[in-house]
Structure 1
Amino acid sequence: MTRVPDMQRYCARCGSRLNRYNAETLCSPCGSASSDDIQQPPLVPPAFWQVDQMRDALSTWHMGRVIFAYRTHPYHGKALPQEIVGNWLGLTQAQLSRIEKGAAPEQLSKLIRWAQILGIPGELLWFKLPAGSSATLEDVNRQDFLRAALGVTVTGAAAPLIELLSTIQPTPIPSQVGATEIEQIRTTAREFSSWDHTYGGGLVREAVGAQLRYAVNLLNARCSEKHRADLQSAVGFLGHTAGFMAFDAYAHADARSMFRLGWTCAEEAGDWHLRGKVLSSMARQAIWCSNPDDGLTFIELAMVRSDRLTATERAMLHSARARALAKVNRVEEALKAVGQADEEFSHATPANDPPWMAYYDAAQHSGDTGHALFDLALSGRFATEASNRLRAAVEGHTDAFVRSKAISGIKLASLTMATGDPQEAAALGTAALVDAGHIRSRRAADDLRELARLAGTHDKTTEVEELQVHIGTTLASV
Structure 2
Amino acid sequence: MVPATFWEHEPVRRALAARHLGRVIRAFRCHPYHGRNPLPQSAVAGWLGITQAQLSRVENGSAIVHLDRLAHWAQVLRIPAKHLWFALPNQPCHFGPEADKEQPGHQPAGSQETAGLATPPAPADAVTTASDEGGDTTDRRQFHALAALAGIAATGSLDLLATPTDAPRSIGMEQVRFASSLVDEFRRADAAAGADQLCDIAIRVHAHLSSWATKATYSREVGDALQTALAELACEAAWLTIDAERRAEARPFLHEAITRARLADDPRVEVRALTCLSLLTREERPGESLHCAEAALRVSSGWATPRLTTLLHMRRAHALAILRDTGGFNRELVKARREFDRGLHDDDLPFVHFVNEQEVSGLQGMSYLALGDPGRAAEIFRSIAVTPASIYRRNQLLYTLEFANAAYLQGDVNEAARTALSALPQLQEINSGRVTQLFSHVRSNLGRPARETLAAREFVDAYDQAVGR
TM-score (normalizing by structure 1): 0.60
Write the distance in 1 (CA, Å) between the matches of 2:277 and 2:184. 19
Match of 1:470 among 453, 462, 466: 462
Counterpart in the other structure of 1:441: 432
SS at match of 1:371: helix
1:166-185 correspondence runs (5 A) = 170=163, 172-185=166-179
1:325-340 correspondence runs (5 A) = 325-340=320-335
How many Å apart are 1:241 and its aligned residue?
0.9
Write the distance in 2 (CA, Å) between the matches of 1:326 and 1:389. 16
Write the distance in 2 (CA, Å) between the matches of 1:302 and 1:470. 43
Write the distance in 2 (CA, Å) between the matches of 1:148 and 1:392. 45
Counterpart in the other structure of 2:414: 423
Match of 2:193 among 190, 199, 204: 199
8 Å contact from structure 1 (residues 240, 258) kept in 2: yes
8 Å contact from structure 2 (residues 228, 264) kept in 1: yes
8 Å contact from structure 1 (residues 272, 309) kept in 2: no
Counterpart in the other structure of 1:156: 91
Task: Kindly indicate whether residue 263 of structure 2 is the aligned counterpart of residue 268 of structure 1.
Answer: yes
Write the distance in 2 (CA, Å) between the matches of 1:209 and 1:312. 29
Q: Structure 2: which 5+ residue stretches go unaligned?
A: 1-73, 81-87, 94-120, 131-161
Task: Kindly indicate whether residue 231 of structure 2 is the aligned counterpart of residue 296 of structure 1.
Answer: no
CA spacing shift, 1:275–1:157, aligned 2, 3 Å? farther
Write the distance in 2 (CA, Å) between the matches of 1:194 and 1:359. 13
Matched residue type, 1:246: T
Write the distance in 2 (CA, Å) between the matches of 1:346 and 1:278. 25
Counterpart in the other structure of 1:320: 315
Task: Kindly indicate whether residue 160 of structure 2 is the aligned counterpart of residue 225 of structure 1.
Answer: no
Task: Kindly indicate whether residue 442 of structure 2 is the aligned counterpart of residue 451 of structure 1.
Answer: yes
Write the distance in 1 (CA, Å) between the matches of 2:411 and 2:90. 55
1:73-88 correspondence runs (5 A) = none
Write the distance in 2 (CA, Å) between the matches of 1:420 and 1:250. 28
Map Cα deviations across residues 250-283 of structure 1 (whole Å, 9 max, x no partner). Answer: 3333211112222222222222222222112112
Map Cα deviations across residues 419-453 of structure 1 (whole Å, 9 max, x no partner). Answer: 26332222221222222321232222222233224
8 Å contact from structure 1 (residues 266, 274) kept in 2: yes
CA spacing shift, 1:264–1:185, aligned 2, 3 Å? same
Structure number with greater CO (CA < 8 Å, separation at least 6) is 2
SS at match of 2:196: coil
SS at match of 1:360: coil
Counterpart in the other structure of 1:80: none
* Percent identical: 20
Write the distance in 2 (CA, Å) between the matches of 1:272 and 1:252. 24
CA spacing shift, 1:239–1:375, aligned 2, 3 Å? same
Write the distance in 2 (CA, Å) between the matches of 1:396 and 1:240. 31
Counterpart in the other structure of 2:142: none
1:203-218 correspondence runs (5 A) = 203-217=197-211
How many Å apart are 1:394 and its aligned residue?
4.3
Write the distance in 2 (CA, Å) between the matches of 1:214 and 1:299. 30
SS at match of 2:197: coil
8 Å contact from structure 1 (residues 418, 454) kept in 2: no
RMSD (CA atoms): 3.3
Q: Structure 1: which 5+ residue stretches go unaligned?
A: 1-145
Deviates more, 1:249-258 or 1:397-406: 397-406
Number of residue pairs matched by the alignment: 323
Write the distance in 2 (CA, Å) between the matches of 1:148 and 1:279. 38
SS at match of 2:195: coil
Write the distance in 2 (CA, Å) between the matches of 1:333 and 1:445. 32
Counterpart in the other structure of 2:369: 374
How many Å apart are 1:244 and its aligned residue?
1.3
Counterpart in the other structure of 1:408: 399
How many Å apart are 1:227 and its aligned residue?
3.8
Task: Kindly indicate whether residue 238 of structure 2 is the aligned counterpart of residue 243 of structure 1.
Answer: yes
